[in-house]
Amino acid sequence: MRDPLFEPIQINTLELNNRIYLPAMHLGMANNFEVTDQIVNFYEERAKGGVGMICVGYATVDDLSGNTTNIGAHTDEFIPGLARLAAVIKNNGVRSCVQLNHAGRYNFSFFLNGKQSVAPSAIASRMTRETPKALETDEIHQIIDNFAQAALRVKKAGFDAVEVLSGTGYLISEFLSPLTNQRTDDYGGSLENRMRFGLEIMKAIRRQVGDDYPAMVRMNGNDFMPGGQGREELKQYAKALVEEAGVDALCINVGWHEAIVPQITASVPRGAFAYLSRGIRELVNVPVIASHRINDPDTARELIADGMCDMVAMGRSLIADPYLPEKAKEGREEEILHCIACAQGCFDNLFNLKHVECLCNPRAGHECDTTCEIVESPKKVMVIGGGAAGMNAAIAAADCGHQVTIYEKGDELGGQLYLAAAPPGREEFSELAYDLETQVYYRDIKIRLNQIVDEALIDEKKPDHIILATGATPMTPPIPGIELPHVVQAWDVLAGTVYTGKRIVIIGGGAVGVETALLLAEKGTLSGDVLKFLFVNKAETPETLYEMTTRGTKQITIIEMIDKIGKDFGKTTRWGMLQDVTRYGIESKVTAKALEITPTGIKVETAVGVEEIPADTVVLAAGSRSSNELLAIIETKGIACDIIGDAKSIGMAFDAVHQGYAAGMNI
């Protein structure tokens, strides 16, 4: 039976051996625009995994188009580094491409040594909170030529294709959108004029690279910006790119960085935005690539087979598992380590001016220094705790040749990953638990479930090395009334082992408190299937259906001592979670202190005084403490020991995974 993913496809004269596309992603790994060993090793690993085409970048076209951590393509001095990168991709049998872009008003003056960013009009960006300089006509013409000259450098460096980013709120899309383009000359006003800049760039590139060289565009299918561009204008732009500018393929993404519609987080269903690539595919006669939240081969196959797209862009999916294509082709899909769209190691790192890493794959971004070498003298390793930290430690230790056994006190591996998966839109965390368990299984690592480790067991097993990954336990704050029967722990709510009443007060507005609130807020709302049934049959008005999907049967209040809730979410996730807090009618009281829990409610002190909030259930989300009581026993025995994850210090899943892998690799 044919596999849609692995059928060849042609872009201009270039043939690809499969339909998996690694789109350009800013990695934060370049050094003063130069290609580094870190970049080369990152892409070499993905090329070895069997992807059809790799697009690197974005790459700069002039001094104002990016920052020094972007790959440079704006002068000839960068051609040798580009050539080295092209060679390592192509030597592994994969087609190569460079994406060119100009950030426009999305560039920070901080990255430009104080220079002002540029844009079609002097309209400030909500992302940078800075006002750009409006471009003069001669400056526009110079930028068009800069794109063309950069494309020629890409070709000279040996890349198989060039792509231009014409969306996401960067310069070309700033010209396209009436929201940011208020010009009155030939580059503003009508859609025809607003499209002119992007079309002229592609025409100039075509003149430089020739008719046979593949020229692609990555563009929005919808910018999701109020006052911006929806599907219809962007469809017309897509058609003009192909028919007027001779573009050979279109990669369809969504949204600007300022848009309030989630685009990349786990709350976005897999393949949700393929309807946009479908709408454009029906208008053009070149390959169309679907993007966003396509993290498994089955979703990818279905989109291609159903005519939603011709290819699939799998970016973070290939950060998480570079060998996803090879595993899919060889029928080993159960071995794939899936991206869970947490954004903890990729986008959150970039916001913190760090290079890309990955929660799921601790080797991502560290390909140079995380290869396990088989040890000459294998050790007997006892891993105590089967959560994310413990499983990653066991995997790394086994890969280095050690004899590893995991001891888990519960009846399954996964630990707190299953609690993290309980809130709506966070289900992918359970996928990671399953994937890690599968990795453990395929390495023949011994597993002992329902096994409490004590001094006697340590004496019996006589391990050479112990990895303590015993996690954490929830804290119980010293509040009068804490022992009352209607007081429960958030962990138990997330685990589904307790029931709650109608009126709920949650003590603690950190990540666990917010996630618990959102889980409870969904109680009594319409499921996706029921919503579709009622909508298709016009049983209720759209307004009523919206109300029924966002208003459940619980009245929820979060109280938090500091001045904001959700402080321990990553930046990529936090805004969406807080948006849902508002959408679901969850009340939050900040700078509030719980004084006493009563049989009918909870007394709280705020800036306006003391009040009692009625509550049928009080949920404790007041943090957790490390569970590492075995450490003292281990130390008395002189056994080499690493303590990792929450057992060492309370952190995020990202920390647990990376600490675990490092501990296992360094035995």
Buried b (16+ CB within 10 A) or exposed e, 73-90: bbeeebbebbbebbbbbb
pLDDT reported for residue 149: 98
Burial class (CB in 10 A: 0-12, 13-18, 19+), 102: buried
Confidence of residue 371 (pLDDT cuts 50, 70, 90): confident
Angle at alpha carbon of residue 361, lines to 265 and 463, rounded to 5°: 135
Q: Does residue 347 have a pLDDT over 90? A: no
Q: Is the pLDDT of residue 577 over 90?
A: no
Cα–Cα–Cα angle for 276, 279, 283, nearest 5°? 140
Residues in the chain: 667
Rounded to whole angstroms, the Cα distance separating 421 from 409 reads 20
Shortest CA distance to 114 belongs to which of 171, 148, 64, 185?
64
User: 607 pLDDT band (50/70/90 cuts)?
Assistant: confident
Environment class of 252 (CB within 10 Å of its CB; exposed 0-12, middle 13-18, buried 19+): buried
Domains contained in the chain, CATH given: 4-351 (3.20.20.70), 380-473+626-665 (3.40.50.720), 476-622 (3.50.50.60)
| Among the listed residues 512, 493, 518, the one whose alpha carbon sits nearest the alpha carbon of residue 582 | 518
Query: What average pLDDT does the segment 449-460 reach?
Result: 96
Contacts of 49 (CB under 8 A, 6+ apart): 318, 321, 322, 323, 324, 325, 326
Percent of the chain with pLDDT over 70: 100
Whether 201 has a pLDDT exceeding 80, the answer reads yes
Percent of the chain topping pLDDT 90: 88
Given this model, what pLDDT does residue 262 score? 86
Residue 267 has pLDDT above 90, yes or no: no
What is the rounded CA–CA span in Å between residue 429 and residue 415? 11
Residue of 74, 94, 90, 88 lying closest to 34 (CA atoms)? 74
Whole-number pLDDT of residue 128: 85
> What is the pTM (predicted TM-score) of this model?
0.93
254, 263 in Cβ contact below 8 A?
yes
| Residue 1 scores a pLDDT above 80 | no
Return the pLDDT at 109: 82
> How far is the C-alpha of 254 from the C-alpha of 276, rounded, in Å?
8
> What letters, b where the CB count within 10 A reaches 16 and e where it falls short, cover 279-315?
bbbeebebbbbbbbbbbbbebbbbbbeeebbbbbbbb
Tokens standing for residue 499: 């029931």
User: pLDDT digits over 557-574, tens only?
Assistant: 999 999 999 888 888 888
- The pair of structure tokens assigned to 184 is 């009155």
pLDDT at 414: 96
Q: What is the per-residue pLDDT for 2?
A: 84
